[in-house]
Amino acid sequence: MPRFTKKPVTVEAMQFTDLSINQCLRFVNAFGGKAQVEECISMENPLGYPEMRIKTLEGVMTARDGDWIIKGVNGEFYPCKPDIFEKTYAPAVDSADTHIGRMEAEHKELTDKSTKLDSFIYQNPIFKGLDGVERSSMVNQLSAMKTYLFHLNDRLQRALGK
């Protein structure tokens, strides 16, 4: 069975609470969405807390206290329950993040690439079929990547105070 990974997508979102009602209304309505707040007593809301009705692509949906209001990749708005939001989203890392965050991302990427090259060289029979110059070049590349990884790891450990 084919498997798929959800693409990393950065969205804007605000949590709907009794303290953020006005900010959530501005968030949706200022960016082309349509929302209104109502006080409604219902089975789902027996105490009559304010609820936000949001026009979504699937129709009008209701956001209740604690729900997140998400602006999707096409500018659409929709509510999301807090437990689903927590499982699906994490705070975005800005490109202007600290140099430590950049080093951590670079370390992960380089580790992944060097692990794959190492596996190709030492475990894939195709490697033995390549000409000697290409094999030598790939071994040299792996050596340089490991040296780079060593220095990057050293810098990262110093930056983290380890």
pTM: 0.54
Q: Which residues pair with 71 in a beta bridge?
A: 12, 77
The answer to whether the CB of 64 falls within 8 A of the CB of 73 is: no
Give percent of the chain with pLDDT exceeding 90: 54
The answer to whether the CB of 51 falls within 8 A of the CB of 40 is: yes
**Lowest-pLDDT choice from 6-20, 93-107, 116-130:** 93-107
The answer to whether the CB of 81 falls within 8 A of the CB of 15 is: no
Tokens for 51, please give them: 């609820």
Per-residue pLDDT of 64-89, as tens digits, reads 999 999 999 889 999 999 999 999 99
Q: According to the model, what pLDDT value does residue 34 have?
A: 92
Per-residue pLDDT of 102-135, as tens digits, reads 888 889 999 999 999 999 999 999 999 999 999 9
Three-state DSSP at 127 gives helix
Query: What number of other Cβ atoms are within 10 A of residue 79's Cβ?
Result: 22
CA angle 94, 97, 99 (to 5 degrees): 150
Round to whole Å and give the CA distance between 123 and 106.
Answer: 25
